[in-house]
Structure 1
Amino acid sequence: MTGSQTHDKCDVRNLKRTANTQSDVRDYRLSRVQEILRQNDCSAILLYDPVNIRYATDTSNMQIWTGRNPSRYIMVFADGRVIGWEFHSCTHVWDELDLNFELRSAVGWTFFSAGHEAERRAEAWGAEIVDVLQRRAPGEFRLAVDRLDPIGTAYLVKNGLTLLDGQAMMEMARLAKSTGEIVLMNESLRACEKGIECMHRELRPGMTEQDLWANLHYENIKHGGEWIETRLLASGGRTNPWMQECSNRVLQEGELLAFDTDMVGPNGYCSDISRTWTVGGTRPSDEQRHLYEKAYSQVHFNMDLLRPGMSFREFSEKAWRIPEIYLKNRYSCVAHGIGMVDEYPSIAHQVDWESGGYDGVFEPGMTLCVESYIGAEGGTQGVKLEQQVVLTESGCVALTSCDFETDWL
């Protein structure tokens, strides 16, 4: 599969939604699922992950809750037909969708929904899944599945099915974005930028980290967004090491404040931006400026390096070299895919390649986040930066104009 439908201009941020964008995106995404099924000689895929369900059908229903409680699921066939098992009294979420679909009532067999009847219900559920597969793909006993609890897996295998890794298939299907997807992603990014602007405007000494973080949530919901996957905002000494979630700590003038949005915004697309500021807008210290310059260099060096046709391994080998003093606290990857949430691939640092790297090739249409965290082991502060980009035929293009602190450089 290629990203041939992806825009190859440097004005990708300014692509405008048309009346048919949403419909075109639905058609494109379903066609990607169909194509990956055909590539794997598989007739159907059973999806429980709410993000995968949304990708394939554009239906959304209590995403966080159904992510923890497997209460709605779909089966997509390689010919484009869809069977949807929907949660109680929620068939309306499928209204006005131009899909070839059939709706059924979901069978819940978790302990929460079935109690001590779980095994009996799982057996009935498994029999129905096999029956649906056999009726629409006679003689097919291979089924791709993205996510399934052990009891469900056991009953499908008991009924003669061979299960394939559907999550890997969906990650590959979601890899290259269409022009329409970039339009929808841009709408999410604009909402995220409004949240960042609000945080910057409200940032002042004496407020808590949580006070500040609430501004991003507010703007996300206000503009039709959905949820934020993490609480990664830290100040002062809590900026080192990274991955400390926001707290009731009171912000102090002159210290660093860093955050990572991880925001699932309008249209269900993720906006993943990291920036670092000083509290009170003070002039940074020499150490703060030095940390920032290193993080800025890492992000922009690696953005300039990225291009279609490059292998993941080559990118990792040629990526900006992290100075030894900051290596221990490096971010978990050099870059990662982004779509509706964090997606394939995750590019390991060269130092981590043997233990955690895997190869592949960058394609036009991939959207990625280029990462940096710079903070010395045992240090008292650190800088987190991240830029969301799209790969076009001619290279890497930023999807956000959210300012860096270039006057610190």
Structure 2
Amino acid sequence: MGDHEVRGGHRDPDLRFHAPPLSAIDLHRLRRERLDRLQAAMRAHGADACLFFDSGNVRYATGSTLMTVYSMSASVRCALVSATGRPILFEHPQSIHVSRGVVEDVRPMRAWEWTDDPSAEAALWATEIAQALRELGVVSRRLFVDRLGTPAFLALAREGIEVVDSGPVTLDAREVKTPEEIRLMEYNAAIGMKMLAAFEAAMAPGVREQDLLAALTATLLREGGEYLITRACVSGPNTNPWNLEATDRALEPGDLVYVDTDAVGYEGYFIDVSRTFLCGDVKATPVQRAAYRAAYDWLTRATVLLKPGVTLGELASKMPRLPDRFLPQRYETMAHCAGLADEGPSIGYPQDPQPNGNRRLREGMIVCLEVYAGETGGRDGVKLEDQVLVTAEGARVMVPYPFCGALL
């Protein structure tokens, strides 16, 4: 069973799990070491400067966050980082005071969206970026960027700045977690345990999927987490095929109910665990038990394979195989990483392309093993997922929420 327990009933309060206290987490060290890793990756890739709009990258580089969900759809804040020295944060003009205690150099952001002439506003913004690059001593005209609106891209080009993809830089920087990041992930793991316990306790015939989602979210917010990136809480026929989201459907006795936490927790670190439960005091059907057993066996066997040094391509070839009847509706990847977001690198099924096949597992990576077992045209599907820390001794499950004994 690894680090898990399996229990038959619901609402067992003794989860036997302890997280580090917040007092054990040094946020100043966290921010310093993340910036050190980022700038080392920049130098390795020949990136003299990076410009980040993605909220995870901004937070990784500066330690600052604000209006995260809003910032996903609007270019209202960004960070400019050189390969040495302190970053510059361009912040929402009315919110500069929020970040001044975290970032030394905070300047007002000139947004171009929702203006009558976005090109003109973006040109003024690009002029400020070019000036900031000169202040940072950046001579290169190549600027590594994660995402950028069209007006801003064109404006930078008019300034003679070549935009280059920053993805390989941030992937290298963020894939291995610092000691403080791991402590934060452990702290958030305790939140994940509480979220799943609240979800399971709220589960009963007549309860709607949306009610369960509310219980999950309420626990996250009460514990200092931030938001969910999906609404993956479904029941009965909504469990097959996978990737439907919560509706107003009421649970019925004998339903399978699965949840993927997909939660951004305290300080932005990801809680990504999936469990499937049986609703009501009923006996599972043979089809339900077979699907659950297949997913459970795959997950527990895959976990022990996570060791430093193996390439992701080699790991893909060694992974356990799902029964053929579940392969047409297999999950899109067998594994991905997690940190300040749902991150790469990822591992595809052996018959699928390997996007990161030559990359190696390294100590300090956090890998989410994910499996779905549901037959095409069937009523039921099972989703299981564990978030695993790769250590020198092997894999350690970070959120050891019990499996459902009624389905095994």
The verdict on a shared fold, with TM-score over 0.5 as the criterion, is: yes
| Residue 262 of structure 1 pairs with residue 265 of structure 2 | no
Identify if the C-alpha distance between structure 1 residues 247 and 200 changes in structure 2 by more than 3 Å, giving closer, same or farther.
same
Question: Partner of 1:398 in structure 2?
Answer: 397
Question: Partner of 1:4 in structure 2?
Answer: none
Query: 8 Å contact 1:12–1:182 — kept in the other structure?
Result: no
Question: Partner of 2:28 in structure 1?
Answer: 23
| Residue 107 of structure 1 pairs with residue 106 of structure 2 | no
Once the two structures are superposed, residues 369-401 of structure 1 have per-residue CA deviations (whole angstroms, 9 ceiling, x without a partner) of: 001100011111010000001001121110012
| Letter paired with 1:405 | C
Identify if the C-alpha distance between structure 1 residues 122 and 403 changes in structure 2 by more than 3 Å, giving closer, same or farther.
same
- Give the C-alpha shift of residue 267 in structure 1: 1.5
Tell me the distance in 2 between the aligned counterparts of 1:19 and 1:319.
36
Tell me the distance in 1 between the aligned counterparts of 2:65 and 2:336.
25
Tell me the distance in 2 between the aligned counterparts of 1:257 and 1:20.
35
Tell me the distance in 2 between the aligned counterparts of 1:180 and 1:174.
13
Once the two structures are superposed, residues 37-67 of structure 1 have per-residue CA deviations (whole angstroms, 9 ceiling, x without a partner) of: 1111222111111111111111110000011
Unaligned runs of 5+ in 1: 1-10
| Letter paired with 1:388 | Q
- Give the C-alpha shift of residue 188 in structure 1: 1.6
| Letter paired with 1:320 | P
* Partner-residue secondary structure (3-state), 2:352: helix
TM-score by length of 2: 0.92
* Partner-residue secondary structure (3-state), 2:280: helix
Once the two structures are superposed, residues 77-96 of structure 1 have per-residue CA deviations (whole angstroms, 9 ceiling, x without a partner) of: 11131111110211122243
Identify if the C-alpha distance between structure 1 residues 189 and 136 changes in structure 2 by more than 3 Å, giving closer, same or farther.
same
Identify if the C-alpha distance between structure 1 residues 36 and 13 changes in structure 2 by more than 3 Å, giving closer, same or farther.
farther
Identify if the C-alpha distance between structure 1 residues 86 and 167 changes in structure 2 by more than 3 Å, giving closer, same or farther.
same
Question: Partner of 2:3 in structure 1?
Answer: none
* Partner-residue secondary structure (3-state), 2:304: helix
Question: Partner of 1:69 in structure 2?
Answer: 74
Once the two structures are superposed, residues 118-154 of structure 1 have per-residue CA deviations (whole angstroms, 9 ceiling, x without a partner) of: 1111111111111211232252211111111122111
Which aligned pairs between 1:238-277 and structure 2 lie closer than 5 A? 238-277=238-277
Tell me the distance in 1 between the aligned counterparts of 2:138 and 2:372.
53
Identity %: 33
Which aligned pairs between 1:283-294 and structure 2 lie closer than 5 A? 283-294=283-294
Query: 8 Å contact 2:62–2:89 — kept in the other structure?
Result: no
Identify if the C-alpha distance between structure 1 residues 24 and 199 changes in structure 2 by more than 3 Å, giving closer, same or farther.
same
- Give the C-alpha shift of residue 16 in structure 1: 4.6
Tell me the distance in 2 between the aligned counterparts of 1:187 and 1:88.
33
Question: Partner of 1:5 in structure 2?
Answer: none
Question: Partner of 1:379 in structure 2?
Answer: 378
Tell me the distance in 2 between the aligned counterparts of 1:250 and 1:107.
47
Tell me the distance in 1 between the aligned counterparts of 2:196 and 2:231.
14
| Letter paired with 2:386 | Q
Question: Partner of 2:339 in structure 1?
Answer: 339
Unaligned runs of 5+ in 2: 1-15
Query: What root-mean-square deviation, in Å, do the aligned CA atoms of Structure 1 and Structure 2 show?
Result: 1.7
Tell me the distance in 1 between the aligned counterparts of 2:36 and 2:58.
14
| Residue 84 of structure 1 pairs with residue 83 of structure 2 | no
- Give the C-alpha shift of residue 329 in structure 1: 0.5
Structure 1 counterpart of 2:40, from 35, 43, 51: 35
TM-score by length of 1: 0.92
Query: 8 Å contact 2:336–2:345 — kept in the other structure?
Result: yes
Which aligned pairs between 1:165-244 and structure 2 lie closer than 5 A? 165-244=165-244
* Partner-residue secondary structure (3-state), 1:257: strand
* Partner-residue secondary structure (3-state), 1:328: helix
Tell me the distance in 1 between the aligned counterparts of 2:249 and 2:164.
47
Tell me the distance in 1 between the aligned counterparts of 2:361 and 2:290.
32
Tell me the distance in 2 between the aligned counterparts of 1:20 and 1:184.
7
